[in-house]
Structure 1
Amino acid sequence: MRVPLQGWARPRISQQFAQALDRRELPRGARTFSIPSLWITADDSTAGSRTLRYMSLIPRAGLRRRGVSDGEVRAAVRSGSIVPVRRGVYVDPATTDLSDDRTRRLLELRAAVLSSDSDLVVSHSSAALVHGIDLWPDIDRRAHLTANRSGGGRAGTSRVVHASPLHPDDVTTVDGVRVTSLARTVVDLACSRPFESSVCSGDAALRRTSADDLAATLARAHGRRGIDRARRAIAFMDGGAESVGESRSRVYLHRHGLPAPALQCDVLDESGRFVGRPDFLFDGVIGEFDGLAKYREYGDAADVVIAEKLREDRLRSLEWRIERWTWNDLATSALADRLRAALTAAEGRAPLGSTRRHGTVANCGEVRVQDGNRA
């Protein structure tokens, strides 16, 4: 049964060519054209909503059924009417912003799903992409899929098929595509990626899934390759970190033997008025990671810098010591030396005002650190 691509972004095409396709013939003398995705059979598509479904992918199999020859497809590619996303799958550049890297990668992933066995589940870094979880470092552009079996995985240049049993709770549907749940995605990444990378993705995921779900998924993964590494990484994850930079900073502090800071804490003045919510709170010392994102997301950069300076002045007036760092600082030990000096200088000098955990009345200023863990 043929079904219209309802809701899909449709390429703009000439009426003449559309009519020609209906007759399964081309206009006389036609050399280039825009391939329309007016109709495809139901098995050419996966149902769903935005992000993945609303991408006008054009499968070669669908064109072949419409009577479009390989030569005609090559002509369309040469003219720029369609762009190959993966072997046998194309996209109309008039309807999709191919300059956006995330969009391009989602197109590549959807194309891989279209050309794969229907029982495969999107997983690992590909699942993180679908869920909107940032990865660091993000260098593997291959499509990662998981087969629900104990063996028989394989890796290629554009696709990796993992073999691992999947519990029903490990699989969900996002935009019409079967994908591992957030918790299962975190466990898969923690089993296969380095500690720092796993923490970055896990911190982000914990803002949208529960620690209980993560613990249950981890328990089901006993015996898997890399499970010990995964347990260590998951035990360290904290949803209070709001960016990759903050997550990497947490790992840096841990590796340099510094006390674990409290996250998501409000600093109040002596009258109980809110002054700020720093990235990291130590005893008497505030730590701030300066990534470029904060200056881009919150309005005009100059205004943000001025507001940040005024906030810092108020915090210093309450006798907080403030240490800032950037991406480059995470590559050397100089930052660790600077923080140790600040913590030593702050010993025995409690700042004015008070602190509280964001959204609660817990006093973050009373957090003590023992052996690198919050007590």
Structure 2
Amino acid sequence: MYKVLTRKQLDDLDMPRSHLAEAVDCCLYRARRGWFVVLSACEKPHHAVLEQFSTEQGITFPRFHGDIRDDAERLRLQIACRRDSLLRGDVFSHISAGLIHGLDPTIIGAERVEVSRRAPTRSYPGLFVYSRAVPADEVALRNSYPVTSLRRTLADIALDHSLEVSVPLISQALRDHGMTREEIRRLLMNGSRGVRRARLALEISSELFEAASEALCAVRFHEHGITGMVPQVDVRTAAGAFIARNDFQHETLPVVVEVHGVGKYYLHPDGPDAAAKANHQRNMNLLNAGYRVFNLTFGDLFRPKVFAEIKRCLDGMQHQQQRRH
């Protein structure tokens, strides 16, 4: 768990203000006003008073990557600093609860900690309160954090956040946490605000998506009116020899869409060069088998022109197919 320190605790250590300011640029992270998280062990003499906290048993340090994943990490730090200041009956919910449950959002969808309580909806700096009474059987305790149950968390996210936020998280829960659509669907009451979008999120989500980027790609298909794309399809020759397993393949047309995240290259056991070579050979095999292949990077998922091109390709093939018949 992260080690959280308050300004009062640091003052009790007789840490001069100048040393504290220096530590914030080194081994401390200011998550919110008056609340800090230990970033790392530090050997600087001015920060020696912090050593006792960085060596405590069970302490973990934040990890920043310099990319979109840092949004989630910064929110995790804010959550850690809010745990001991919750009001009685408050429950971490929505994206905050998802992070506590171990979900990994692609797009964070929230810059503030989210909690649910029996009170009017309010927005504070760094905190958003949903006016929502959570039944006792929908409250869990994870690592001493009071949170909505996983199914309630996913239902809340689907109701109150966009498809690009909810679909990857629901898909991860279906795939890795044994969640079922029916468990979530039972919590989506008729007449609830956002219920139509939430039910659509369940339809788009799939345990077959092997990465959050694939789930986000499925959302883009929906947004651009692209239908018939089936996830995780094996392609074989007429003789039955295996060619490739595709992230997405159209159900009737020879069109393949591959979504390439960083992991496909830099987590390859033989390194990125071997991964690139294998991917090139795979593309050639698919092209030789008569498929049109679209290779998408994570950045392509935010470029509408890419999906417009896929749509034109599918429409063109469909038109040709109809003319032949």
Report the TM-score, using the length of structure 1 for normalisation. Answer: 0.66
Q: Secondary structure at the match of 1:302?
A: helix
**How far does residue 211 in structure 1 lie from its aligned partner after superposition?**
1.6
Q: Quick one: distance in 1 between partners of 2:30 and 2:148?
A: 27
Match of 1:159 in 2: 127
Task: Map 1:1-375; keep pairs closer than 5 Å.
Answer: 54-60=1-7, 63=9, 68=12, 72=15, 74=17, 77-80=20-23, 82-93=28-39, 94=41, 95=54, 97-98=61-62, 100=64, 101=70, 102-138=72-108, 140-147=110-117, 149=118, 151-207=119-175, 208=177, 209-218=179-188, 221-282=189-250, 283=252, 284-299=254-269, 300-326=271-297, 327-328=299-300, 330-332=303-305, 333-342=308-317
Of 201-210 and 268-277, the range deviating more from structure 2: 268-277
Q: Secondary structure at the match of 1:246?
A: helix
Contact map agreement 2:258 2:295 (CA 8 A) in 1: yes
**How far does residue 344 in structure 1 lie from its aligned partner after superposition?**
5.1
Q: Quick one: distance in 2 between partners of 1:90 and 1:251?
A: 37
Q: Quick one: distance in 2 between partners of 1:119 and 1:259?
A: 44
**How far does residue 248 in structure 1 lie from its aligned partner after superposition?**
2.9
Q: Quick one: distance in 1 between partners of 2:221 and 2:151?
A: 25
Q: Secondary structure at the match of 1:119?
A: coil
Compute the RMSD of aligned alpha carbons.
3.1
Report the TM-score, using the length of structure 2 for normalisation. Answer: 0.75
Contact map agreement 2:158 2:166 (CA 8 A) in 1: yes
Contact map agreement 1:285 1:343 (CA 8 A) in 2: no
Q: Quick one: distance in 2 between partners of 1:273 and 1:280?
A: 19
Contact map agreement 1:122 1:145 (CA 8 A) in 2: yes
Q: Secondary structure at the match of 2:246?
A: coil
Identity %: 26
Q: In structure 2, what residue type is equivalent to 1:339?
A: L
Larger relative contact order (C-alpha < 8 A, sep ≥ 6)?
A: 1
Q: Secondary structure at the match of 1:165?
A: coil
Q: Secondary structure at the match of 1:217?
A: coil
Match of 2:44 in 1: none
Contact map agreement 1:266 1:277 (CA 8 A) in 2: yes
Structure with max Cα Rg:
1
**How far does residue 348 in structure 1 lie from its aligned partner after superposition?**
11
Deviation sequence 1:352-371 (CA, Å, 0-9, x none): xxxxxxxxxxxxxxxxxxxx
**1:104 to 1:250, Cα distance in 2 relative to 1, 3 A:** closer
Contact map agreement 1:97 1:103 (CA 8 A) in 2: no
Deviation sequence 1:141-188 (CA, Å, 0-9, x none): 2111112x3x42211111112121223443223222122233222211
Q: Quick one: distance in 2 between partners of 1:82 and 1:291?
A: 31
Q: Quick one: distance in 1 between partners of 2:219 and 2:163?
A: 9
**How far does residue 294 in structure 1 lie from its aligned partner after superposition?**
1.8
Q: Secondary structure at the match of 1:277?
A: strand
**How far does residue 281 in structure 1 lie from its aligned partner after superposition?**
1.6
Q: Quick one: distance in 2 between partners of 1:76 and 1:222?
A: 56
Q: Quick one: distance in 1 between partners of 2:244 and 2:137?
A: 39
Unaligned runs of 5+ in 1: 1-53, 350-375
